[in-house]
A and B are shown apart, each in its own frame.
Chain A
Amino acid sequence: MAMMERIPAAGLIQKFPGGKFFLASSEAVLKWGKASSLWPMTFGLACCAIEMIATGASRFDIDRFGAGVFRASPRQCDVLIVAGTICVKMSDCVRRLYAQMPEPKYVMAMGNCAISGGIFYHDTYSVVKGTEALGIPVDVYIPGCPPRPENLLLGLMKLQEKILNEENANNRNI
């Protein structure tokens, strides 16, 4: 419940005295459930993926935030962490993976390459200039080259905040 106190929308959830019951709108409970159980995809593109793997392992442990179930299929995922450089040849694959994810789906652009092309912005013919250049909407940008695991965890917390405060959560226009 510590997370709920941090989030303004969680104020919609009220505990009864004694703590055995609570009263809330179903939307607030649904949002709280979605934010607390994000399933990222097992998908890495470059060196940022190494940091993502470290974040998943015991030292940093992304599971503490309810996002530790890395799935090997896009059809079982909520979050696409674009971890690394998107090459032109790989871009079709990224686009197809995103299309295969069921709604509601969220995208985190991890690292400078996934944000804008990063150090490969200039003088390169083979690199896509960021995730949004592919037409994939990004929810959270995590700068760094590569970002440290703490940065990825902060990005995840930002995403959870975004989900909890989302207006009209069931009709996201993508």
Chain B
Amino acid sequence: MLTTEIFDLLKAKFPRIAKEEGTSAVIIPKELLLEFGRFIKDAPLIFDDLHCVTAIDKKEKIDLVYIFYSNPLQHSLTLKIYLGPEDPKVESLAAIWKSANWLERETYDLFGVTFLNHPDPRRILNPYDWKGYPLRKNYSAPNFIAKPKL
């Protein structure tokens, strides 16, 4: 299915979604996430594969990015949720896609996005007692040595 067709289908079901300017990503409000997830997992869209969860720190907000792929229909969807930079929280998709489990742990570890009702909400890459979220723009580590400008 083409991206525009997917968007029209989703818009008919969820009137509150929007298209991001400059990209083909779909933006949804965060309270819609679980309902939206269950809808796109089943027919007619059959997004059976969630293969990327990540975030972008834009200082004034954090963009949470999901990329879905449909193996039977061979189409994909980029989903974005805008979160506030202070204590971002969102529902976990681990109950719908099993792959979300580790991807969400990574996003928590590096960006500090809390996933509610996650089955195992620990850090995954950094040590468990790590302080701070390394991919945030305002992160600084005690052993960090900046590269001198030449």
Contact = CB atoms under 8 A, between A and B. Distances in A.
Interface of A: 88-89, 92, 121-126, 129
A126 B139 CA distance: 13
Contacts of A123: 144-147
Nearest to B134: A125
Interface in B92-150: 125-127, 134, 139, 141, 143-148
Given A125-B141, A126-B134, A89 B127 contact: yes
A89 B146 contact: no
A121 B145 contact: yes
A121 B126 CA distance: 18
B126 A89 contact: yes
B144 to A, nearest CB: 5
B123 to A, nearest CB: 10
A167 B70 CA distance: 69
B126 A129 contact: no
Contacts of B127: 88-89, 92
A123 B143 CA distance: 10
B125 A125 contact: no
A129 B144 CA distance: 10
A125 B145 contact: no
Contacts of B134: 125-126
